[in-house]
C-alpha cells in the first residue's frame, strides 16, 4: 500500500455517521472560504493533543473521498504538525468544480470513533467575497505587523473581525484589545472596501493561524513571530511574503538617493550658473569699453574747436584764433597759452627781432 490512502469511505457520510455516533464540529456555523479561480488555500485543522497519534484525514463531500495526513499530490497536500496539534490542508489550482463542503476528521479510537473538528465550505469566485493581500506574514518579537483584508461591496455592512483559529477568539472593527504586552487594532475603510489589522508588541505565542472574517465569509492568514535579533532594534513590521514591503523599501532607497543627488548638485549647479553670469557680464563690459572710449574721445574733441591757421605762404604774419571750451567758467584758468612758430615751407620770414606777437582773447559766440 502506498504512503497514503485515498479511498472512498461511505461510512463517513452523514447517514452512517449518525448510525455510528459521530461527534460533530462544535465550532459554530460553517465557515465559507472564498477563493479566486486558479488560486490556492491552506486550511488549518486543530485537534486535541490526545489525538496526536490518531489518524486524521481530509474528507470531500463532493466526491465522497478521504485523504489522510502526510499525503502530497499535485494539487493537494495534507500534512500533520503534531508539535502544534494541527494538520494543514493545501489545495492548489482551485476551480468551480471544487466548490462544496469539506471536513477535517480525526479517528479517535474511542466512542464516538469519528470526530469532525472543522467543516469549511469552499466557494470559488471570480471576485471573492473576502480575500487577503498576503496569506503569510511574519515579524520579530516586540515588533508590529499589519494584515490587509478585502471584501466585496455586498459585505460592507457586515461585521468585520480578526479571529484566531485555535481558540476562535475574535477582535472586531473599531475596538482595540490589549493582552499583556501585545494589542490588536482594526480599522475599516469603506471607500476601499478593506480593513487593516495592526498587531503591536508581538510575542512568540502570537504565532499561529488567524482569519479575516466578514459576515460568514473568511480567508486564513498565518502569522509567524521570530525571536528578536540581539543588538538590533525590533522591527515595526516585517513580512516574509509581503511584496508591498519590498516595493516600499525600494522606493524609499530610491528617494534617498535622489535626495542625496539633489543635495550635492543643486549647490554646484547654482555656483556654476553664477560663475557663467559673471563671465558673461565681464565679456559684455569688455566689448563695450572700446566703443565708450571712442565716443568719449569724440565728445571731447567735438567740444574743443581747433581753428585752422589762416595764412598764405607770402604773408609775413601768421594769424591764429583760439577758442576756449567754456570761457565763462569761473573755476577754470583763464590764461590761454599759444605757441606760434614758422610753418615749414612758408615764404614768410619772422621779424628781425625774432619776436612774434599773439593776441589771445575769449571768443564770444554769437547767439
Q: What is the pLDDT of residue 19?
A: 36
Residue 12 has pLDDT above 50, yes or no: no
Report field, pTM of the whole predicted structure over 0.85: no
Q: What is the pLDDT of residue 261?
A: 62
- Band of pLDDT at residue 149, cut at 50, 70 and 90: very high
Q: What is the pLDDT of residue 264?
A: 73
Q: What is the pLDDT of residue 168?
A: 87
Q: What is the mean pLDDT of residues 353-367?
A: 54
Q: What is the mean pLDDT of residues 338-354?
A: 55
pLDDT higher at 97 or 182: 97
pLDDT higher at 306 or 215: 215
Q: What is the pLDDT of residue 88?
A: 97
Task: Report percent pLDDT > 90 for the chain.
Answer: 46
Q: What is the pLDDT of residue 176?
A: 57
Q: What is the pLDDT of residue 7?
A: 40
How far from 89 is each of 15, 133, 225, CA to CA, in Å?
25, 20, 22
- Asked if residue 225 lies in contact with residue 204, where contact means CB atoms within 8 angstroms, the answer is yes
pLDDT higher at 256 or 19: 256
- Band of pLDDT at residue 349, cut at 50, 70 and 90: low
Cis previous bond, 112, omega within 30: yes
Amino acid at each position: 500500500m502506498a504512503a497514503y490512502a485515498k479511498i472512498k469511505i461511505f461510512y463517513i457520510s452523514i447517514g452512517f455517521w449518525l448510525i455510528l455516533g459521530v461527534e460533530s464540529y462544535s465550532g459554530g456555523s460553517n465557515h465559507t472560504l472564498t477563493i479566486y479561480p486558479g488560486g490556492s488555500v491552506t486550511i488549518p485543522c486543530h485537534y486535541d493533543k490526545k489525538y496526536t497519534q490518531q489518524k486524521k484525514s481530509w474528507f470531500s463531500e463532493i466526491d465522497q473521498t478521504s485523504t489522510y495526513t502526510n499525503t502530497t499530490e499535485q494539487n493537494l497536500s495534507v500534512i500533520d504538525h503534531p508539535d502544534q496539534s494541527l494538520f494543514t490542508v493545501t489545495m492548489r489550482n482551485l476551480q468551480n468544480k471544487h466548490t462544496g463542503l469539506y471536513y477535517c476528521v480525526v479517528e479517535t479510537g474511542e466512542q464516538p470513533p469519528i470526530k469532525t473538528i472543522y467543516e469549511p465550505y469552499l466557494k470559488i469566485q471570480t471576485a471573492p467575497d473576502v480575500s487577503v493581500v498576503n496569506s503569510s506574514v511574519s515579524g520579530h518579537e516586540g515588533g508590529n505587523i499589519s494584515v490587509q483584508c478585502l471584501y466585496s461591496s455586498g459585505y460592507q455592512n457586515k461585521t468585520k473581525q480578526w479571529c484566531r483559529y485555535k481558540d476562535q477568539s475574535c477582535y472586531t472593527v473599531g475596538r482595540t484589545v490589549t493582552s499583556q504586552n501585545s494589542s490588536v487594532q482594526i480599522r475599516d475603510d469603506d471607500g476601499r472596501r478593506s480593513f487593516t489589522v495592526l498587531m503591536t508588541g508581538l510575542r512568540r505565542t502570537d504565532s499561529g493561524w488567524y482569519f479575516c472574517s466578514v459576515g460568514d465569509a473568511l480567508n486564513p492568514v498565518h502569522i509567524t513571530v521570530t525571536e528578536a535579533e540581539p543588538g538590533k532594534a525590533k522591527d515595526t513590521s516585517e513580512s516574509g511574503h509581503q511584496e508591498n514591503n519590498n516595493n516600499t523599501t525600494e522606493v524609499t532607497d530610491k528617494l534617498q538617493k535622489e535626495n542625496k543627488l539633489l543635495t550635492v548638485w543643486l549647490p554646484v549647479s547654482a555656483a556654476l550658473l553664477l560663475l557663467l553670469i559673471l563671465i558673461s557680464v565681464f565679456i559684455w563690459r569688455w566689448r563695450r569699453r572700446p566703443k565708450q572710449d571712442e565716443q568719449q574721445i569724440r565728445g571731447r574733441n567735438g567740444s574743443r574747436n581747433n581753428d585752422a591757421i589762416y595764412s598764405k605762404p607770402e604773408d609775413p604774419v601768421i594769424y591764429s584764433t583760439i577758442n576756449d571750451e567754456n570761457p565763462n567758467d569761473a573755476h577754470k584758468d583763464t590764461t590761454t597759452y599759444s605757441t606760434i612758430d614758422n610753418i615749414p615751407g612758408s615764404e614768410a620770414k619772422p621779424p628781425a627781432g625774432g619776436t612774434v606777437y599773439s593776441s589771445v582773447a575769449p571768443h564770444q559766440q554769437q547767439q
